[in-house]
Chains A and B, each alone.
Chain A
Amino acid sequence: MAAGTPVIVTRQLTKTYAGAGVAVAALRGISLTVERGEYLAVMGASGSGKSTLAHILGCLDLPTGGRYLLDGVDVRGLGEDQLARIRNRKIGFVFQSFNLLAHATAIENVELPLIYQGVARAERRHRALAALRSVGGERWRDHRPNQLSGGTIQKVALARAIVTDPALLLADEPTGNLDSASSDDVLASFARLNAAGRTIVMITHEADVAARARRLVRIRDGRVVEDRPISSERPVAAAVAAAPPAGARDQPQPLGQPA
């Protein structure tokens, strides 16, 4: 894609879970634009629809309505195999619960997306090692997840997410299961990757985690209620404390005009 194409453009994205009994409207019209190289934190209370949004942005689930352009490609109407290809090549997803193959070693886990790209074995090894190295995890290559600590596992997952050099790195509460030292470690990796030019969307409900990003989008009940840049001089925690009640504040930013 051309350098000017936004990585993410959503227009009035909605998602309704039609479970047994009541239907839950998890997203009620999310319009968002993320440019290349941005580091966006999506904040919101539990149940506000953050994970739902992350799954749709990661093409792990389909929206009920609205449009979603990923790297200029409208994902609506794409077939199953094309969606698999997008997940494989354009997106790296980091889960709160890691989601590594329990019975595979770290290096095998990192190689996994490359297998589905048809990358030859030797090159796969090489690239997986490079990805592990970039998160400082080369020495865990032959360990299985159950032999590693939470922070280490999340770094292996991060290596897996970036091994294909995706346009978008998505993380849903990546530090949610980690102690603060490990959290700092993982967040430092995210910061380094963003500094190297990677586009990151990180979901969190913790203000100090969100403060590591450079732009903050706050959602409540499936709607964007705040969207602003994070200045390094004004930490987000303070900003949160100083924020007037939602609704009295600014409306969601107009599309195509990131902060």
Chain B
Amino acid sequence: MIPLENVRIALQGVGSNRMRSGLTILGILIGVASVIILVAVGNGSSIAIQSRIQSLGTNLLQVQSQPVFFRAGGQTATLTQSTNLTAADVHALEQHDLNPDVAAVAPVLTASVTATWDGNSYSPSQFLGTTPPYRRIAGYRLAHGQFFSSAQLHSHARVVVVGQTVVSSLFGGQSPVGQSVQLNGATFQVIGVLAAKGTSGATNQDDVMMAPLTAVEDAITGYQASYSRIDVEAASPSRETAAEYEVATTLDTTHHIASLASGNLQILNQASLISTSTAQTFTTLLAAVAAISLLVGGIGVMNIMLVTVTERTHEIGIRKAVGARRRDLLGQFLVEAVLLAAIGGVVGVGVGLLGSHFQIVGVTPVVAPYSVALALVVSVAVGLFFGLYPASRAAGLQPIDALRHE
């Protein structure tokens, strides 16, 4: 029989048994669509978390002095001069020829303040005295106004930049730029509002106020021999390890001892730590999601195919009884399976892509191209296999044995 006739028989079979064809297509469709959507949801949450980590500042290194009383040995808890982070350290780190992979350096002095405005008072969880590079290092952007400049730093200007939580908690949600605010009794002028950045772990990065280091020392903390920490930005995420090494070397030199090795100083790169472990967690999670949805889709397709095996075997018996050869039957079932799998696959991809446009449990799905290919290949393979399975089994039977399936 000419192959065209196989196509026609298959089309006739598909068209005349709408229920069976519809269920088969539906099985493949659901398999393909669920894989695409589930993987897209996983991928979407992964991307959301990664971008949140990015917003933390991926190139960030934090140098902190380790309080001596945490050290073992039972000695008296005193901070020695050698472990203090000073302007000399900042200056040394700013030497570009010594630290080629360091992009920016900012000393940070933290304090607790109570801010008062228009009869309201509020204590932000973070109050920082710092220098202009800090904004870039920490990855903040401005919503209104501006960040303080080097000139304002040098002139000890009493200006302050506030985060969104402070805007809503202290200023009733209105832009406070230009307003005067009392910080522990000293008057500062608000010159900028930071754009929302969200939370990082337990820290609300929007519950923050920052002012020039000089003004903070003048008005709030008094002169400090040591900074709370020094924040350093690596030139790029890939240079972070090199930058960390340069920072360590430089600090060892300025302090004349191996402060890092002794544990007196500590360089933290939480961001990269969180970022890599999260990426790994998500790769594993995504693989699991894809595997489970493929399994679910595959079982769906398999079920529908197997349910019809008896019926199909009987049909094969009828066809054999009137003279169909093995190759006629295999040809018919192959064309039919390809047709149903192709329709189910294509519509499934369509539904999957469409479904991925909607927010699902608060996640914006992001379609992973590999999931489309994987879903298509697996579902279509399962569809083909179980579509051909009854034919290949029954085609070898005596017609009367195939007819007995009813």
Q: Which residues of A contact B (CB under 8 A)?
A: 55, 58, 60-62, 80-81, 84-85, 87-89, 93, 95, 97, 99-101, 103-105, 108, 112-113, 115-118, 160, 164
Contact = CB atoms under 8 A, between A and B. Distances in A.
Contacts of A113: 322-323
Choose among B5, B12, B322, B326 the residue with the greatest number of A CB atoms under 10 Å from its CB.
B322
Given A61-B400, A62-B398, A112 B12 contact: no
Q: Which 5 A-B pairs have the closest CB atoms?
A: A88-B323, A103-B16, A113-B322, A60-B400, A103-B17
Contact of B325 (A80, A97, A104): A80
Given A60-B398, A60-B400, A115 B1 contact: yes
Contacts of A100: 318
B101 interface: no
B48 interface: no
Contact of A116 (B17, B315, B324, B400): B324
Interface of B: 1-2, 5, 9, 12-13, 16-17, 315, 317-326, 328, 398-401, 403, 406
A99 B321 contact: yes
Contacts of A87: 320-323, 399
Contact of B16 (A89, A104, A164): A104
Choose among B315, B321, B401 the residue with the greatest number of A CB atoms under 10 Å from its CB.
B321
Contact of A84 (B315, B318, B323): B323
A174 B32 CA distance: 47
A212 B102 CA distance: 107
Given A80-B326, A81-B326, A103-B17, A60 B321 contact: yes
Contact of B398 (A61, A81, A117): A61
Contacts of B319: 112, 116
B42 to A, nearest CB: 41
Nearest to B319: A112
Contact of B1 (A93, A105, A118): A118
A164 B322 CA distance: 10
Contacts of B400: 55, 60-61
Choose among A100, A101, A115 the residue with the greatest number of B CB atoms under 10 Å from its CB.
A115
Contacts of A95: 403
Contacts of B9: 115
12 contacts: A61-B398, A81-B325, A84-B324, A84-B325, A85-B323, A88-B322, A99-B317, A99-B318, A99-B321, A101-B318, A112-B319, A118-B1
A81 B398 CA distance: 12
A105 B16 CA distance: 9
A164 B317 CA distance: 18
A99 B403 contact: yes
B222 to A, nearest CB: 92
Given A60-B400, A115-B1, A101 B315 contact: yes
A33 to B, nearest CB: 24
A84 B17 CA distance: 25
A148 to B, nearest CB: 16
